[in-house]
Structure 1
Amino acid sequence: MMDLADSQQRLIAGAALLLATIAFVKLLLGARSRGKRLPPTIPGAPVVGGLIKFMRGPIPMIREQYARLGSVFTVPILSRRITFLIGPEVSAHFFKGNEAEMSQQEVYRFNVPTFGPGVVFDVDYSVRQEQFRFFTEALRANKLRSYVDQMVAEAEEYFSKWGDSGTVDLKYELEHLIILTASRCLLGREVREKLFDDVSALFHDLDNGMRPISVIFPYLPIPAHKRRDRARARLAEIFATIIKSRKASGQSEEDMLQCFIDSKYKNGRSTTESEVTGLLIAALFAGQHTSSITSTWTGAYLLRFKQFFAEAVEEQKEVMKRHGNKIDHDILAEMDVLYRCIKEALRLHPPLIMLLRQSHNDFTVTTKEGKEYDIPKGHIVATSPSFANRLPHIYKNPDSYDPDRFGPGREEDKAAGAFSYISFGGGRHGCLGEPFAYLQIKAIWTHLLRNFEFELVSPFPENDWNAMVVGIKGKVMVNYKRRKLVVDN
């Protein structure tokens, strides 16, 4: 009995010590937290936190919490905490922090099943930087010049098949043309001429394998992921064959595929077939969606607001007075009106809802109202181009389509300082493909403005929030009529 009593007492004493220790740790952590000015945290359900609100729609959630809590707030999701920084006043560290401070790799690893092993987010930062150098070299000005010639040729061939008049789904037509152009400029002549239908279908399965659930559970054995994995394996086989053929024949092409084949790491090692395939897939993913979605939104807004359509047509007349029918890299660069029309469509409808980083150190932000918040190490940090691009203290009438806001004398995106316009990200990880995207969309709409009249006959389109990359819901039906642009001498 005494032994049992002693055991019970020791058990009670041990439990008391454990409770005291827990209380002390909580007190210590509480003291540390009280010393910090932590961002306000939205309330959430036990365990899942704000996951339900997040999955119902990040933008409605951000809109609600921004109005309630301001430009800095934290959302608990499962075991993680996501702190949102909305607006240029609080997002500088997000964009400017180096990889040791603000890392991409941890938060974007869900891309690995799509891009494949050994590239981008499946390698350490030093290797990823070298691979980004390969992208930079493939998008240098001299390369872009040769790509423009291919873009123009693809547009001319594609629209030559339209009749003198008709009705088309502009979204479908531009999506199809963009993938054709991307196949020629990025994936290579072999794909464009012989394997386009096969590769296009495989990319469709790869694309549809990127769902919101994929961010949290990228390897979940759902049908979309299984199709994604089969498509990725087949694409690897196709490109391995093309790469071997090029190397065996010694032939060289003017495309991104060739640039990646010829690329070498600093230690002299050549890229592998697997790396080339992964880099190509990453490039197409980055460029195809942005270009097809933005070219469609540009058209929809130009047809809705006739004054901007008329200004864009007038600009084409002025350009043609100087250069005739010729279109090349330098001539596209002269088209400031068209550039602003595209940029404004992209401000209103950036394809990426959120940009993410993993914080590896504590840092402090100050809101425009002067409030200071300490962001703890270990938080996922996020910003939202979709929301930040429409802040009323930066953009006048932010929900209105007004390309002139970027014109001389206004330049609203520059007046509030850096990171006021983040459709292409910014800072250390700004989109390398931004010049390529603008040239591609300009080449397409230059041809359309010069050769066709249009009328939007379906309702003005809406965002499709169901995809990882925000597209356009439904069809965008237009009537077209072929014309020849008359230039007054």
Structure 2
Amino acid sequence: MSTIQTLALLAKAYAENLLALFLALPIYQKLSIIVFLPFVYNILYQLLYSLRKDRVPLVFHWIPWFGSAVPFGMQPYEFFADCQSKYGDVFAFVLLGKVMTVYLGPKGHEFILNAKITDVSAEDAYTHLTTPIFGKGVIYDCPNSRLMEQKKFVKGSLTREAFKTYVPKIREEILSYFKDSQNFRVGEKDHGVVNVMESQPEITIFTASRSLLGDEMRTKFDASFAGLYADLDKGFTPINFVFPNLPLPLYWKRDEAQRKIAGTYKDFITKRRANNDIEDRDLIDTLMKNSTYKDGVKMTDQEISNLLIGVLMGGQHTSAATSAWFLLHLAERPDLQDEIYEEIQRVAGDEEVTYEMFQNMPLVNNVIKETLRMHMPLHSIFRKVINPLSVPGTSYVVPRGHHVLVSPGFSHTNEAYFPQAETFNPHRWDDDFKYNNNNGNTGADTVDYGFGSVSKGVSSPYLPFGGGRHRCIGEQFAYVQLSTLLTTFVKTMKWRFPEGHHVPPVDYQSMVTLPTDPAEIVWELRK
């Protein structure tokens, strides 16, 4: 008998003896071992991990699998700051069974957002979360090359000429909302109280649908249709990220909303095709005319419908959250409201504000910019590592199957980069006002990933729309929509907080940094 066979027999006998001893124990002792064994394994795993010189420091945690989910989920920026003080800019933590390697600061932005597509994958990180919401064949449910081309298709409706037509449509929608919504009822009332976490998601979806999808599709966006988008929006939660398909009412509503919205879009597309009614009116026409990939494959009508959901949902998060936050911050700053009003009057006079006028309204632009600094909609951006990834300047290697995490929002609110970071101060950007320059790029060094040139460098501490190949293509549309929202609010009304209220804390329970509900302001018509 060989040595290996002998060792195998001894190991088998030892295991059988351990099992026999376990089975002979009283039931309470068995339960104790079953409960505490994972904790023992967890401690031993972390001890062995800490001995490896090729692994980044691991944040210690007591509870197996859950890891640091509670502190990260409750206060991510405080969690990052605490870990940074102990381990430096690079560290790892366990999040619901996944090992997340964090690299904070501008060097981390460069390391992760500009990592090679052969080394990290956004698709593998997000598809289980986004596919049930957007649908099959689009965004992260397709190869990255397909996504880059889809972004290029969409950009056909995000031109300056298109923006000029969007501004009056967006303003008209906002004024109609002021008049008709139960949140305001302007005309019947000249003052009232509104929860911005109810008003802004509705205004955002109505204005986006009117401008991007056209007048005819907008007629379908009543309160019930907006409610379907709200059901979809609830799919962007941490539990959906970890468990994308549970037999729960929340998931059933999400799936039903996706089917109904996509079905509505598809029926609309079918009708236009049947009537040969394809012009250049909106994003739907754009995609019907131009959605053929370089290899000759055409997007199906179902995929176009799914992509329309993705486009509106992407903007919904950013603009709804950002507009809610700037309304709340300005509720504490009546002086800034008056200053914005004076800027509008100086530029527009008695005329309606146009797209071209925004170029001469630095304070409007800087209020949005400062809001995005303090409240970047996504506090964390993930990628899944598909090839071992070396951390520059260290001996660390992030192994395949782990995730990397970058947090531009942490830099946005860090005193090292923005003095008095917790203070809402739009004037900090006065010297940097470059609205609409070079598609939002600040440097000449650009790269085209397939959807147009964007800034190649991502080492800036300020990246509210991400960077690299997954940079948001809706940045300029967001500024158009938000600028129109802000100027229309300021021209129409003044607002403040109810007595004793202040800017609410951030609610991190969602995947988006939202104000804690209820977030109410008191408004009155401007005389």
TM-score (normalizing by structure 2): 0.79
| Alpha-carbon shift at residue 170 of structure 1 (Å) | 4.8
Contact 1:87 1:391 in 2 (8 A): no
Contact 1:264 1:271 in 2 (8 A): yes
| Alpha-carbon shift at residue 384 of structure 1 (Å) | 1.9
The alpha-carbon distance between structure 1 residues 477 and 287, as it changes in their structure 2 partners (threshold 3 A), is same
- For the residues of structure 2 that align with 1:212 and 1:256, how far apart are their CA atoms? 31
Q: Which amino acid aligns with 1:90?
A: G
Deviates more, 1:431-440 or 1:94-103: 94-103
**Percent identity over paired residues:** 28
Deviates more, 1:414-423 or 1:155-164: 414-423
Q: Does 1:423 align with 2:446?
A: no
* Alpha-carbon displacement from aligned partner over 1:116-140 (angstroms, at most 9, x marks no partner): 1111111112211111111222212
| Alpha-carbon shift at residue 65 of structure 1 (Å) | 1.3
Aligned partner of 2:186 in structure 1 is 162
**Equivalent of residue 310 in structure 2, options 277, 282, 304:** 282
- For the residues of structure 2 that align with 1:52 and 1:290, how far apart are their CA atoms? 24
Q: Does 1:260 align with 2:287?
A: yes
The alpha-carbon distance between structure 1 residues 107 and 295, as it changes in their structure 2 partners (threshold 3 A), is same
Aligned partner of 2:42 in structure 1 is none
Q: Does 1:83 align with 2:126?
A: no
Contact 2:53 2:395 in 1 (8 A): no
Aligned partner of 2:86 in structure 1 is 68
Aligned partner of 1:143 in structure 2 is 162
Aligned partner of 1:23 in structure 2 is none
Contact 2:234 2:254 in 1 (8 A): yes
Q: Does 1:336 align with 2:362?
A: yes
- For the residues of structure 1 that align with 2:381 and 2:467, how far apart are their CA atoms? 10
| Alpha-carbon shift at residue 34 of structure 1 (Å) | 5.1
Contact 2:169 2:210 in 1 (8 A): yes
Alignment of 1:342-421 (within 5 A): 342-359=368-385, 360-365=387-392, 373-408=396-431, 418-421=459-462
- For the residues of structure 2 that align with 1:41 and 1:210, how far apart are their CA atoms? 27
Aligned partner of 2:247 in structure 1 is 221
RMSD: 3.0
Structure 1, unpaired ranges of 5+: 1-5, 19-29, 485-489
- For the residues of structure 2 that align with 1:194 and 1:107, how far apart are their CA atoms? 34
The alpha-carbon distance between structure 1 residues 244 and 405, as it changes in their structure 2 partners (threshold 3 A), is same
Aligned partner of 2:343 in structure 1 is 315
- For the residues of structure 2 that align with 1:143 and 1:410, how far apart are their CA atoms? 23
Aligned partner of 2:493 in structure 1 is 452
The alpha-carbon distance between structure 1 residues 13 and 158, as it changes in their structure 2 partners (threshold 3 A), is closer
- For the residues of structure 2 that align with 1:341 and 1:319, how far apart are their CA atoms? 17
The alpha-carbon distance between structure 1 residues 335 and 294, as it changes in their structure 2 partners (threshold 3 A), is same
Contact 1:84 1:383 in 2 (8 A): yes
- For the residues of structure 1 that align with 2:94 and 2:73, how far apart are their CA atoms? 13
SS at match of 1:365: coil
Alignment of 1:465-476 (within 5 A): 465-476=508-519
Aligned partner of 2:448 in structure 1 is none
- For the residues of structure 2 that align with 1:153 and 1:313, how far apart are their CA atoms? 19
SS at match of 1:213: helix
Contact 2:201 2:320 in 1 (8 A): yes
- For the residues of structure 1 that align with 2:484 and 2:96, how far apart are their CA atoms? 46
Deviates more, 1:116-125 or 1:425-434: 425-434
SS at match of 2:291: coil
SS at match of 1:120: coil
Aligned partner of 2:60 in structure 1 is 43
- For the residues of structure 1 that align with 2:341 and 2:4, how far apart are their CA atoms? 88
**Equivalent of residue 110 in structure 2, options 77, 81, 92:** 92
Equivalent residues, number:
459
Q: Which amino acid aligns with 2:487?
A: T
- For the residues of structure 2 that align with 1:340 and 1:381, how far apart are their CA atoms? 31
Deviates more, 1:413-422 or 1:470-479: 413-422
The alpha-carbon distance between structure 1 residues 409 and 55, as it changes in their structure 2 partners (threshold 3 A), is closer
| Alpha-carbon shift at residue 327 of structure 1 (Å) | 2.0
Aligned partner of 2:15 in structure 1 is none
Aligned partner of 1:443 in structure 2 is 484
Contact 2:408 2:461 in 1 (8 A): no
Aligned partner of 1:26 in structure 2 is none
